[in-house]
C-alpha cells in the first residue's frame, strides 16, 4: 500500500529496500530478493551506483542465507 502512495522513485526505492530487510529478518528470503531486485530496477534509472551495489550485496546476503552460495 505504501508503495502505491510513494511520490517518486527515491521513496519507492526506500520502501522496497525496507521491505526486503523486513522479509530477510523474517526469514522470507525469496520475497526479500524480489523486493531488492525491484529496487535495483529503479536505482538503475537514477544512476546511483553505490545504492545499486548495496542492493546487490543485500541480494547476495539473502541468497547466502537461503543456502544458494
- Rounded to whole angstroms, how far apart are CA atoms 19 and 13? 10
Q: pLDDT tens digits, residue range 7-52? A: 888 889 999 999 999 999 999 999 999 999 999 999 999 889 999 9
Per-residue pLDDT, 15: 93
- Please work out, in degrees rounded to the nearest 5, the angle formed at the alpha carbon of residue 40 by the alpha carbons of 38 and 46: 120
21: which 3 cell numbers? 530487510
Does the pLDDT at position 68 exceed 70?
no
14: which 3 cell numbers? 526506500
Is residue 63 within 8 Å of residue 69, measured between CB atoms? Answer: yes
44: which 3 cell numbers? 538503475
The pTM assigned to this predicted structure is: 0.88
Amino acid at each position: 500500500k505504501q508503495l502505491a502512495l510513494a511520490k517518486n522513485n527515491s521513496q519507492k526505492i526506500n520502501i522496497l529496500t525496507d521491505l526486503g530487510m523486513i522479509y530477510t529478518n523474517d526469514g522470507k528470503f525469496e520475497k526479500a530478493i524480489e523486493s531488492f531486485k525491484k529496487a535495483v530496477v529503479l536505482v538503475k534509472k537514477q544512476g546511483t551506483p553505490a545504492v545499486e551495489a548495496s542492493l546487490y550485496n543485500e541480494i547476495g546476503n539473502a541468497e547466502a542465507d537461503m543456502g544458494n552460495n
